[in-house]
Amino acid sequence: MPSPYPAALARRLLTVPLTWLLLLGTVILLPLAAPAAAVTDLALRRRGWPTVRMVAFVITALWIEVSAHPRILWSWISRPFDPLSWTERNHELMHWWAGRLIRGAERVVGVHWHVEVPDDLGPGPLLGFSHHVSIVDAIAPVFILGNERGWFVRYTLTRGLRFDPCLDIVGHRIPNYFVARGAADNTRELANLRTLVTDMDTDEVGVIFPGGGLYTPGGLARAVEKLTERGSPQAEAAARYRHVMPPRPGGVKAFFEGAPSAHVLVIGHVGFEPLASIRRLWRVLPLVDPVEVKAWRYDRSEVPDGEAEQMAWLYEKWAVMDDWIAERLRTRSAGAAGPS
């Protein structure tokens, strides 16, 4: 879905130079920031140099961002001579960018992965419904399906992410949709979500985070309260959730309507929780436990017809994911506590 102009051009004239200036500023300040970070870790007796790692990852992420800009420009210049299609080239750029971020996180902050995905994912297309606890976990589907499996991912993303130039430029060259959250009338948004997953090929997956926002205990409590007030038939099921936000019906319905033959992939994970805030991440660096990702594939023949029946079905599958997350968190907690 192309980005509207001139609004996109004005935004990019701001964000692209700003990213380069931020990198330049961090490099200039590095001779001061690095010793200050080291002194902080020594003074607080923090093992693993978490503050140093935070500074290093900021520089790493900025470098990955700006080093992608020449590739993005060259892909446009060389488009008439490229043997790949425009869509394939930009999916390749997205995979390259995501892969570098992942490798940078592995080396600098200690992120490592344990992925459990069915071998027989295909043929697609697939509808991916994913758990969401931090802005960083949005990269999980493109990593486990794109980088690792070669699938092309169509994303539903929040519009705030357009201020990342790579996501903005490449993300608008390939089928993605940047959602305006909190709109009074979401008719247009839902229509665009239906269009997003229409006519997907057998190696494509449309991804949405149906909880409507990041999971927090308070957010879950408020969501259950609203479902109860509305007399939702899913209120009782949602009240039993512990670690996931209840799926909202609008986006789920749009996806099912837009891709009536697509199979379903439910994506759960643990390990992204510390990345929900800078302060929380700083407290736990370097990361010891892996990011664990598990995906459940369901044939479309298992999905019932009818909006109410489909939501009840997804709530049941969401409960399976919630139980898995609870079990993995208990195991991690027991491991951290050590033998009694």
Residues 140 and 38 grouped into a single domain: no
Residues 308 and 179 grouped into a single domain: yes
Sequential DSSP letters for 164-195: SHHHHHHHHHSS-EEE-TT-S--HHHHHHHHH
Is pLDDT at 232 greater than 50 in this prediction?
A: yes
Provide the CATH number for the domain around residue 318: 3.40.1130
Give the residue, 326 or 288, on which the prediction is more confident: 326
Which structure tokens are listed for 192? Answer: 């665009």
Residues 286 and 269 grouped into a single domain: yes
Tell me, what amino acid is at 243?
A: H
108, 132, 159: which is the final residue of a domain? Answer: 108
Residues 310 and 204 grouped into a single domain: yes
Spatial strand order of the sheet with 291-298 comes to 113-116, 291-298, 263-270, 126-130, 204-208, 152-158, 177-179
97 belongs to a structural domain: yes
340 belongs to a structural domain: no
Nearest to 214 by CA among 133, 302, 124: 133
| pTM given for the model | 0.90
DSSP structural state of residue 321: H
User: If DSSP codes are grouped into helix, strand and coil, which group holds residue 117?
Assistant: coil
265 belongs to a structural domain: yes
Residues 78 and 36 grouped into a single domain: yes
Average predicted confidence (pLDDT) for the chain: 90
* Residues paired with residue 116 on neighbouring β-strands, in sequence order: 294
1 belongs to a structural domain: no
Residues 205 and 151 grouped into a single domain: yes
Each residue's pLDDT tens digit, 14-52 = 999 999 999 999 999 999 999 999 999 999 888 889 999
Which structure tokens are listed for 31? Answer: 């001779």
Cis preceding-peptide flag for 80 (omega within 30 of 0): no
Each residue's pLDDT tens digit, 59-73 = 999 999 999 999 999
108, 139, 155: which is the final residue of a domain? Answer: 108
The pLDDT assigned to 340 comes to: 44
Confidence class of residue 339 from pLDDT cuts 50, 70 and 90?
low
Sequential DSSP letters for 210-272: TTSS---HHHHHHHHHHHHHTT-TTHHHHHT-SSSPPPPHHHHHHHHHH-TT-EEEEEEEES-
77 belongs to a structural domain: yes
- The angle, 0 to 180 degrees and rounded to 10, between the axes of the packed helices 86-108 and 165-173 is 150
68 belongs to a structural domain: yes
- Give CA–CA dist 280/273, Å, rounded: 9
Residues 80 and 119 grouped into a single domain: no
Is pLDDT at 335 greater than 80 in this prediction?
A: no
262 belongs to a structural domain: yes
Each residue's pLDDT tens digit, 103-151 = 998 999 888 899 999 888 879 899 999 999 988 888 889 988 998 888 9
Sequential DSSP letters for 72-99: HHHHHHTGGG-SS-HHHHHHHHHHHHHH
Nearest to 297 by CA among 281, 312, 317, 313: 317
Nearest to 240 by CA among 314, 319, 310: 319
Residues 201 and 67 grouped into a single domain: no
Domain span holding position 153: 114-334
Name the domain count of the chain: 2
Nearest to 65 by CA among 148, 140, 163: 163
User: If DSSP codes are grouped into helix, strand and coil, which group holds residue 10?
Assistant: helix
Residues 125 and 36 grouped into a single domain: no
Each residue's pLDDT tens digit, 168-199 = 999 999 999 998 876 666 888 899 999 999 99
2 belongs to a structural domain: no
Tokens 């759960």, residue located: 268
Q: Are 217 and 207 in contact (CB under 8 A)?
A: no
90, 108, 126: which is the final residue of a domain? Answer: 108
Give the residue, 315 or 160, on which the prediction is more confident: 315
Residues 126 and 162 grouped into a single domain: yes
Each residue's pLDDT tens digit, 303-314 = 999 999 999 999
Residues 172 and 291 grouped into a single domain: yes
Strands 177-179 and 204-208 come out as: unpaired
Residues 87 and 148 grouped into a single domain: no
